[in-house]
Each structure stands twice: as C-alpha cells, then as structure tokens.
Amino acid sequence: MLFSSLSAARETTLTVFCSGGLMGVLQQLAPAWQQRSGVRLQIESAPSMGSTPQSIPQRLAHHQQADVLVMVDDGIKPLVEHKWVSLNNRVPLANSYVALAIPAGKKKPDISTPDKLKAVLLKAHHVAYSDSASGRYVSESLYKKLGIERQMAAKSEMIPATPVGKIVASGKADVGFQQLSELQVVKGITVVGLIPDSLQKTTLYSAIPLDNSAHPSQARDFIHYLSSAHVASIIRQKGMSPLNQQTN
C-alpha cells in the first residue's frame, strides 16, 4: 500500500497559476517541494488581473485547468463570485511593495522623499507600470498624491502581460514601477529602491485552491508548505514580508 501511494504521488502534477510577485519564490522552492512530496509542480505565469489571455480570470473563463492560484489577494473576490474558488480556503502568504527601476548603466536617482520622486517622474520621458496591483496604484493614486496626474498622463504606459522590467531594460521606458520581487529578477535594469514609505502601497499575495482541482489533497498540502519557515526565508530574500509562518 505504501509503495502504491508513493507511486501515485510521483505521477501527480499540480498546476499552479502564479502572478509575477511570487513567481521567483515558487521557482526557487519547487525542487525542494518536489523532492519532499513526490508531487511535480507545473508553474505557469498568470497576471492576477486584467483582460489579457494569460491572466488568471481569462484562463479560468476559458476553462483552463489548475489546482492552485498564487495571486494578488484583491483579485480573489471576482473568482469567488464565479464560483471558481471558495474564500474560506484562502491563505495569505506575503506582503509585497512597489519599487522603481531604471535601465542599467543610468545614474541612480534619489527617490527617498515624495518631492524627490516627483522630480524624477517629471523629468522622465516615458514611465511604464503593470496592469496589475502596483500599476493600478500608480495610475489611480500615486500620481494624484504627488499632484502630477496631468503631466504624467501623456508619458505613462500600462504594460499588459510583459514584465515592466523588460520594457525598461529594452530602453522603451526610462522609469518603471512594479513589485520589488518582480523587478529583482530582470536583467538589464537597476532597481533604485522602494518608493517612499508615505507613498508606499502594500500588496497582499495569497494562495487558494481551485474548487474543481483534480488533486485537492495535494493542493492543500502545497499551500500549507507555502506557509513554512523554509518558504518564509525565500520570501524575505525576494524583498517581501511573509505571513502566517508555520513551524514545519
């Protein structure tokens, strides 16, 4: 019976739709999880929000199958309304923070205060931000707080699907905003740092199983593992704050 159970585990693959903020974390933990559990992970990049075909809402609307979602918490409620997930199964994982990046080789600006950040943005020729949580905050709140909505309208661009860091690295934008954890993994850019505390937007990332998962037990086990001390250390390495840390 034990041999049969282990064989079944090794044949199981969990499909995880993961938004960019925690993608680096999942990629790093995958080997340890697979060795520990015998369950393979298929991790697919999927923005938490938006209308691109890659986004979690669109994937689910088109009946793409998954077992676990790792995503911006604010994006979960619409999925509950569609009866794809159950809110009581949601597990908060980490708080993430908005950072600013520039092309590699450019002089690093000072963004330590709201006024200094404002000056950098007014001087910029083209500013890019994502079509998910951080980008919506920049376009709907940050510019307003800085009093530069009108000045930034013509030179700002919301980027669907593609990581903002790649747009900055290509030279198509001289300033980019995204979650720190997403910018850290992109080559060809310099992460200037987090935006000032008084302007910062904390984004909560959570994990939740799909109600129609083919592997509900393994999905629950994986989400429990995401709250382990081992994973918490990886989350910290990526510039985020882990939540609900388990002892094992």
CB 76 within 8 A of CB 206: yes
pTM equals: 0.87
The residue assigned the tokens 């129609």 is: 212
Mean local confidence (pLDDT), 138-159: 97
Strand pairing category for 13-18 and 40-45: parallel
Confidence band, pLDDT 50/70/90 cuts, at residue 1: very low
Mean local confidence (pLDDT), 48-66: 94
Q: CATH number of the domain at 96-199, please?
A: 3.40.190.10
Q: Which two tokens stand for residue 34?
A: 């697979």
Question: Residue 76 pLDDT > 60, yes or no?
Answer: yes
Question: Residue 143 pLDDT > 90, yes or no?
Answer: yes
Closest CA to 143 of 206, 17, 135, 230: 135
CATH class belonging to 2-94+204-242: alpha beta
Q: Where in the chain is the domain with CATH 3.40.190.10?
A: 2-94+204-242, 96-199
Cα–Cα distance measured from residue 96 to residue 115, given in angstroms and rounded to the nearest whole number: 23
Confidence band, pLDDT 50/70/90 cuts, at residue 189: very high
Cα–Cα distance measured from residue 12 to residue 32, given in angstroms and rounded to the nearest whole number: 16
